[in-house]
Amino acid sequence: MNYDINKIRSYFPVLKQQVYNKPLVYLDNAATTQKTVKVLMAQEKLHNDYYGNIHRAAHYMADKSTADFEETRDKVQKFINAGAREEIIFTKGTTESVNLVAASFCEQFIKSGDEIIVSEMEHHSNIVPWQIQAINKGAKIVKLPFSDSGILQSGALQNLISSKTKLVAVTHVSNVLGTINPVKQIIETAHSKNIPVFIDGAQAVQHIPVDVQELDADFYAFSAHKMYGPNGVGVLYGKRKWLTEMPPYQGGGEMIAEVSFDKTTFSEIPFKFEAGTPNITSVIAFGASIDMLQDIGLVNIWEWEHELLEYATAGLKEIEGMTIYGEAPEKSSVISFNIEGVHSFDLGTMLDKMGIAVRTGHHCADPVMQHYNIPGTVRASFGLYNTKEEIDQFLHALKKVVQMFA
Ligand code: PMP
């Protein structure tokens, strides 16, 4: 494989450091990824050279900031192959993207007695916004379950859909189980009954090539900070048809055509959904992380990370008392596990002292924990800059911890 790991790691000098006098092994990429220096350089250049508020003033700084901001929209459009740049809306993150659709779609299309189907393996951010709206409207959330091996029972969808169903919300990739869901098939099933589908892509776009037109997704959401990009920026892709029919989510500057005390008319999409001054700095810098992902190539990243996944899974399985949650055949580079007799929090804390950064707890996916009747797991998640040597360090540290508890 043509994958220049040394060059890739050179984009992330932060990885070279030591923590507690041990080389840092950063395996918490599903929570957030480290930022490439290209992002930091883009932020610095903006502030040194031409920062201004966008879409408004007619001066050089504002014009240049506007052009770069809108260039990121073009890059995102290309990255997920959206049909039109107007279908890309910048938000604060996946969470805000879900809240936007939940509030606005439900306002327009949901009434008392309607149903929204949500999968059992969702992150809280793709459950709670729908619940809040369902309570407001007197609607109901219906659960699409997964099996003990972490596979979504997508075949059950056909039977769960009824005349009351108004939307299906499902994650592309589970942040706990790593399962890559057959979203194209799910969308086909839902569309055969004229039901739109919201896809949470927060754990997908940094690992696998995504083409929203090929999937025929109605909505697709993700966060820049999980893509080696800056904090505070997310994307909502929505089909023009829906975004045009949906009412604004928030009111304010930028999203209006004309305001008087009698009546306000709204801008066209995407601006209708981008009220107020957005996160100009981070959106512009986000362009640099998309460039990096495109340059390396999602297919190459997928292959590299898949090797890491297989290597780590094999190593973990050798450890006594090991339970791995999620063994779907189509899996991203996320492994959740527990070791008999050791609390996940203790494991994580001891690993941290050995320089290994993992996540412990419920991973904002309580229903997944409830499925297995456990309080939490340890989660190791690999990114494009991780190596087999790091996995060796992780496994070595883990074995030491297990010995200490034995
Ligand atoms: N969905 C999934 C699957 C996630 O993993 C996360 C982040 N952990 C989110 C949604 C929420 O993303 P953010 O916090 O960036 O809004």
Which residues line the pocket of ligand 1, CB cutoff 6 A?
93-95, 123, 125-126, 171, 175, 200, 202-203, 223, 225, 364
Q: Tell me what the pLDDT averaged over the chain comes to.
A: 97
Report the pLDDT averaged over residues 174-199.
98
80 and 224 fall within a common domain = yes
Cα 96 to ligand 1 centroid, rounded to whole Å: 10
The pLDDT of residue 2: 80
- Residue range 315-354, pLDDT digits in tens: 999 999 999 999 999 999 999 999 999 999 999 999 999 9
**Residue 65 in this model has a pLDDT that exceeds 70:** yes
Cα 57 to ligand 1 centroid, rounded to whole Å: 34
288 and 307 fall within a common domain = no
324 and 347 fall within a common domain = yes
Answer yes or no: is 207 within a domain: yes
**Residue 283 in this model has a pLDDT that exceeds 90:** yes
189 and 251 fall within a common domain = yes
Cα 123 to ligand 1 centroid, rounded to whole Å: 7
- Rounded Cα gap, residues 94 and 86, in angstroms: 18
113 and 252 fall within a common domain = yes
Answer yes or no: is 35 within a domain: no
Answer yes or no: is 381 within a domain: yes
Answer yes or no: is 228 within a domain: yes
Answer yes or no: is 400 within a domain: yes
**Residue 398 in this model has a pLDDT that exceeds 70:** yes
Question: How much of the chain exceeds pLDDT 70, in percent?
Answer: 100
Answer yes or no: is 114 within a domain: yes
The pLDDT of residue 58: 85
CB 270 within 8 A of CB 70: no
The residue out of 273, 294, 315 marking a domain boundary is: 294
- For ligand 1, pick from 100, 175, 208, 379 the residue to mutate: most ligand atoms within 8 Å of CB: 175
Residue nearest to atom 12 of ligand 1 (CA): 94
Closest by CA to 229, choosing from 9, 19, 23, 32, is: 32
- Rounded Cα gap, residues 228 and 289, in angstroms: 6
Answer yes or no: is 308 within a domain: yes
116 and 95 fall within a common domain = yes
Q: Which of 307, 364, 372, 375 is catalytic?
A: 364
Report the pLDDT averaged over residues 162-186.
98
233 and 303 fall within a common domain = no
Report the pLDDT averaged over residues 282-296.
98
**How many domains does the chain contain in total?**
2
The residue out of 294, 329, 359 marking a domain boundary is: 294
In the chain, the N- to C-terminal Cα span, in Å, equals 40
241 and 324 fall within a common domain = no
Answer yes or no: is 156 within a domain: yes
120 and 88 fall within a common domain = yes
Closest by CA to 217, choosing from 82, 99, 105, 106, is: 82
Higher pLDDT, 56 or 24: 24
Residue nearest to atom 5 of ligand 1 (CA): 175
> Which ligand 1 atom sits nearest the alpha carbon of residue 31?
8
Report the pLDDT averaged over residues 358-365.
96
> Which ligand 1 atom sits nearest the alpha carbon of residue 174?
3
25 and 66 fall within a common domain = no
As a three-state string, the secondary structure of the chain is CCCCHHHHHHCCHHHHCEECCEECEECECCCCCCCCHHHHHHHHHHHHHCCCCCCCCCCHHHHHHHHHHHHHHHHHHHHCCCCCHHHEEEECCHHHHHHHHHHHHHHHHCCCCCEEEEECCCCHHHCHHHHHHHHHHCCEEEEECECCCCCECHHHHHHHCCCCEEEEEEECECCCCCEECCHHHHHHHHHCCCCCEEEECCCCCCCCCCCHHHHCCCEEEEEHHHCCCCCCCEEEEECHHHHHHCCCCCCCCCCEEEECCCCEEECCCCHHHCCCCCCHHHHHHHHHHHHHHHHHCHHHHHHHHHHHHHHHHHHHHCCCCEEEECCCCCECCEEEEEECCECHHHHHHHHHHCCEECEEECCCCHHHHHHHCCCCEEEEECCCCCCHHHHHHHHHHHHHHHHHHC
- Rounded Cα gap, residues 276 and 47, in angstroms: 20
The pLDDT of residue 384: 98
Residue nearest to atom 4 of ligand 1 (CA): 202
> Which ligand 1 atom sits nearest the alpha carbon of residue 223?
15
Q: Domain holding 341: CATH number? A: 3.90.1150.10
Cα 95 to ligand 1 centroid, rounded to whole Å: 6
95 and 24 fall within a common domain = no
Cα 222 to ligand 1 centroid, rounded to whole Å: 8
Cα 366 to ligand 1 centroid, rounded to whole Å: 14
The pLDDT of residue 131: 98
> Which ligand 1 atom sits nearest the alpha carbon of residue 225?
15
26 and 79 fall within a common domain = no
Q: Label residue 158 exposed, middle or buried (CB < 10 Å: 0-12, 13-18, 19+).
A: exposed
Report the pLDDT averaged over residues 123-132.
98
106 flagged as catalytic: no
The pLDDT of residue 56: 78
The pLDDT of residue 228: 98
ipTM entry: 0.99
Q: Domain holding 244: CATH number? A: 3.40.640.10
Task: State the pTM of this model.
Answer: 0.98
**Residue 57 in this model has a pLDDT that exceeds 80:** no
- Rounded Cα gap, residues 277 and 313, in angstroms: 45
- For ligand 1, pick from 223, 332, 334 the residue to mutate: most ligand atoms within 8 Å of CB: 223
Cα 202 to ligand 1 centroid, rounded to whole Å: 5
- For ligand 1, pick from 95, 101, 181 the residue to mutate: most ligand atoms within 8 Å of CB: 95
> Which ligand 1 atom sits nearest the alpha carbon of residue 171?
3
- For ligand 1, pick from 94, 198, 233, 336 the residue to mutate: most ligand atoms within 8 Å of CB: 94
The pLDDT of residue 1: 65
149 lies in which domain range?
A: 40-294
The residue out of 251, 268, 294 marking a domain boundary is: 294
**Residue 280 in this model has a pLDDT that exceeds 90:** yes
